[in-house]
Amino acid sequence: MTPHIAAKPGDIAETVLMPGDPYRAKWAAETYLTDAVCINEVRGMLGFTGMWNGNRVTIMGSGMGMPSMSIYANELMKDYGAQTIIRIGSCGGMQDDVKVRDVVLAMTATSTGTPSSTIFREIDYAPVCDFGLLQAAYAASQKRDTPTHVGSIYSSDTFYAERNDLTEQMIRHGVLAVEMEAAELYILAARYKRRALAVMTVSDHIITGESLPSDQRERTFGDMVEIALEAAFA
């Protein structure tokens, strides 16, 4: 047990999928896992452990933003022995060829700052995913014929950002999408020598303003969850 996770030793699998929304974690566990058991409800951050194709998996919310991700990923890796964490969530497209409903695999995650930034002092650390997970996720997406983009994303520490100049530079330099958690997850995975990847569905678009209707999100996000599960156990 940790300050934020009430799971007992052995309750959490070595492979953890983390959507931001705890209720999306509940939906994914009920949809894709067999014999799923709730292992955490502290602060409403629901977590479930069950089986997928003979493999033990935990699906647990991370909350919104890098500070929240940092708390849960730290405790999962350091105290519960999680070896692989895959973020599954939504992102905002930032390139013309990145369409709503497409999947984005984050090779790198740029940010203006993370909860870990202070330990690097003057170093501009570049967080990256686990290459083996990236390869497996891309192969899974191609097998499913899911439109998929691989490259750099931007992990923002603000949702209601007012830096249009910064957005313009992200777009200019080929950043595929914006979200709020991956950069810190990748840094923690490097620190603890674990595997991490962000697999995300484009739910809205920064350039066009298009947004995925809420009643279509679960069906579309299902592709992302299946890609993440296949990648974890490839």
Residues in binding site for a purine D-ribonucleoside: 4, 179-181, 203-204
| Separation of alpha carbons 16 and 60, rounded Å | 7
Query: Do 14 and 82 contact (CB within 8 A), yes or no?
Result: yes
> In the numeric block, which tokens belong to residue 23?
């209720």
Whether residue 204 lies in the annotated active site:
yes
Query: Rounded to 5 degrees, what angle do the CA atoms 220, 5, 57 make?
Result: 45
Residues in binding site for phosphate: 20, 24, 43, 87-90
| Separation of alpha carbons 186 and 168, rounded Å | 24
Residues in binding site: 4, 20, 24, 43, 87-90, 179-181, 203-204
What is the CB-side half-sphere exposure of residue 104 using CA atoms within 13 A?
33
Determine which one of 11, 21, 204, 223 is catalytic: 204
What is the CB-side half-sphere exposure of residue 135 using CA atoms within 13 A?
5
| Separation of alpha carbons 145 and 106, rounded Å | 18
| Separation of alpha carbons 139 and 207, rounded Å | 28
Phi-psi domain of 10 (left: phi exceeds 0; alpha: psi -120 through 50; beta: other): left
| Separation of alpha carbons 53 and 64, rounded Å | 29
| Separation of alpha carbons 138 and 148, rounded Å | 7
Active-site positions read 204
